Structure 1
Amino acid sequence: MSQSLPPVLTEVAYENGRYVAFDRPLPGEPQTLYRVAEGALAAAFSATDGSADAVRTAVAEGAETAVVIAGDASVRPLVPLLPSTSGSALLSGFMGTHKKKWGGQSAPEEGEFTPPKWFFKGFGDWARLPGEPLTVPAHPIALIEEPEVVLVYVNDADGTPHYAGYTFGNDLCDIGLHRKDPGYNPYCKLCDTALAPWLFLGPPPRSATGRVTIVRDGATAWEGNFDCGSDALYFRVRDMADHLFSFPAVRRPGLVNYVLLGADEASFHDGFQIADGDRIGIDVKSHGVTFENTVRYVSPAAAAPLPAS
């Protein structure tokens, strides 16, 4: 980690309560947790200027605390700012955002903004945490891992979005289905997405670099580097976000938005095929963030038949 990183916030479940931690101690070191009521953390971002100091003051002052040992198995990380009510958060993202896909160029500064394609991934509570399986339909054509920066926004009572910070995710999808027919892209995205539980309280990173390692049967089957920082993108992050939030549907009061900014080339582009049981490890070396998830093919039971006409 050569760059200076912003402060980090983590939401956790501990002893039947919801808590916030404002540091990342090494395993075995003490860590202070601050108890928060449902929605209080999201409210702190909309009721203050959103800075790390202001949010910490709003959440920590007068809060019940607990001191735990970092790495304690009874402390369970949560997806940052995820409401407990299903349907109160959206997971979505942009496609084809990297300069590599635009001949190394950047979007022109002048003229009308032409937005990238956007996709809906699912509700926020569909996101998986590190260590949880990523399920996909039983017969994908060709899966691809996609390490990405994920912006987090909370809408206030009037529906105005407030940027909270960023984390990282793995937008696993069936790129083979997309390439078969781009119109199938909504189906392509119906694979689980992993989100890291650490929320960086700062602007989107200009550089976010790391390495993917895919393990099969206990051995490394593929590995490669990635760059998902804003300097690697063709589009400017502010333009993408401003365009997305011009749509009232994503500005519903109290909604939390997790927005994926797009991925670098990955294992698929190297001719590798992700298989059932593969373990995908994402190491964002620039930020000291690592997480891994195992891919699981799933064959659901058949849906109940329609009534006869």
Structure 2
Amino acid sequence: MTVLFECSYDHQRYVGFGVPQDGAPLRLHPLGGADLRVLLHRSGGDESALRDALAAAGPALDVPAADLPLVRMRPPLLPDHVGDALVSGFMMTHHVKAGPEVPDQPNWFFKGLGNVLRVPGLPLSVPGDAVAVTEEAEVVLVYVDDEEGESHYAGYTFGNDLTDIGRFKQHAGHLSYAKLCDTAVAPWLHLGAPPRSVTGAVTVERDGAPAWKGSFTTGTDALHYDLDTMMRRLFAYESLHHPGRTHYVYIGADRSSFHGGFRLEDGDRVTLDFASHGVTVSNPLVWKGTQ
């Protein structure tokens, strides 16, 4: 399966292929001012066609290991204007969370615009008056609206839908507030169909030492709902569509540290190891605003 990423280096935008290994040199392909979303759409997701299109912008560049700290990864297909990105998701989608009375479509929530997306390493902020915050290891679907505003599936990645679950537990109507935390997203865009099975583990570090560990299972096989039906019903709302918009849709999580009786705190580092797919998402947490 083709995996690609977009980054900036030496004030230029580049595309790379594969999930880079820690400390290994990077081979980058210049974008030359092109929009990767457009190139992907024109190539139909074919790696050879995409590489040919990138070759027209210039020769590939090899970044030595010593210069890797100068490379800045970007969320997959993030528009230049963060207002052109819409981050949202579904809740209570997994079999393990389905109750006795299950609606025919799970609740949908708005998480923010493109500025709430944080790649691994960057801090995730939550309101200072958060009640009980928890991580949520999730598959993230990426869609791009064409010039007519029609949404096209581009691929998937992984992320941490950080949530003030305590606020939601206090009042179910406050889900919209509970979801207004930053969210982590891996830079690596997988061009295939959404994965059926994803397994991994969560590690929370506090003061430099492991404070909580747990496992998770996600993917389409873990969903109580049919994913195609979920997305078709969501995108039936024309108000979501706009030419050039990128959609990041979090499709729900397994149990989390909250369900294990643990409470995240300011300064904790949360690491999600999506081991089945060789992807790690690790971010420190920061409480901001009124305490």
TM-score (norm 1): 0.88
Summarize the alignment of residues 249-264 of structure 1 with structure 2, pairs less than 5 Å apart. 249-264=239-254
Q: Which amino acid aligns with 1:274?
A: L
Greater shift after overlay, 53-62 or 120-129?
53-62
Tell me the alpha carbon deviations over residues 251-276 of structure 1, each in whole angstroms, 9 at most, x when there is no partner.
21100000001000011011111111
Tell me the alpha carbon deviations over residues 21-76 of structure 1, each in whole angstroms, 9 at most, x when there is no partner.
01334344443211114562111232232333333333344434321135711111
**Contiguous gaps of at least 5 residues in structure 1:** 1-5, 108-112, 302-309
Alpha carbons of structure 1 residues 37 and 172: separation in structure 2 relative to 1, 3 Å: same
Q: Which amino acid aligns with 1:241?
A: M
Instruction: Give the C-alpha shift of residue 148 in structure 1.
Output: 0.3
Find out whether 1:142 has 2:132 as its counterpart. Answer: yes
The secondary structure found in structure 1 opposite 2:49 is helix
Identity %: 47
Alpha carbons of structure 1 residues 58 and 241: separation in structure 2 relative to 1, 3 Å: farther
Alignment-derived partner of residue 7 in structure 1: 2
Find out whether 1:231 has 2:221 as its counterpart. Answer: yes
RMSD between superposed Cα atoms in Å: 2.1
**Aligned partners of 2:263, 2:168: CA distance in 1, in Å?**
15
**Aligned partners of 2:141, 2:265: CA distance in 1, in Å?**
29
Alpha carbons of structure 1 residues 174 and 168: separation in structure 2 relative to 1, 3 Å: same
Greater shift after overlay, 31-40 or 257-266?
31-40
Summarize the alignment of residues 98-137 of structure 1 with structure 2, pairs less than 5 Å apart. 98-102=94-98, 114-137=104-127
**Aligned partners of 1:29, 1:86: CA distance in 2, in Å?**
30
Q: Which amino acid aligns with 1:72?
A: L
The secondary structure found in structure 1 opposite 2:63 is strand
Alignment-derived partner of residue 180 in structure 1: 170
Find out whether 1:26 has 2:21 as its counterpart. Answer: yes
Greater shift after overlay, 163-172 or 19-28?
19-28
Contact 1:149 1:167 in 2 (8 A): yes
Tell me the alpha carbon deviations over residues 228-254 of structure 1, each in whole angstroms, 9 at most, x when there is no partner.
111111112111111111111222110
**Aligned partners of 1:97, 1:240: CA distance in 2, in Å?**
10
Larger Rg: 1
The secondary structure found in structure 2 opposite 1:13 is strand
The secondary structure found in structure 2 opposite 1:291 is strand
Contact 2:89 2:109 in 1 (8 A): yes
Alignment-derived partner of residue 96 in structure 1: 92
The secondary structure found in structure 2 opposite 1:46 is helix
Alignment-derived partner of residue 82 in structure 1: 78
**Aligned partners of 2:109, 2:32: CA distance in 1, in Å?**
32
Which among 230, 239, 261 is matched to residue 240 of structure 1? 230
Q: Which amino acid aligns with 1:172?
A: L
Greater shift after overlay, 260-269 or 214-223?
214-223
**Aligned partners of 1:245, 1:64: CA distance in 2, in Å?**
39
Alignment-derived partner of residue 31 in structure 2: 36
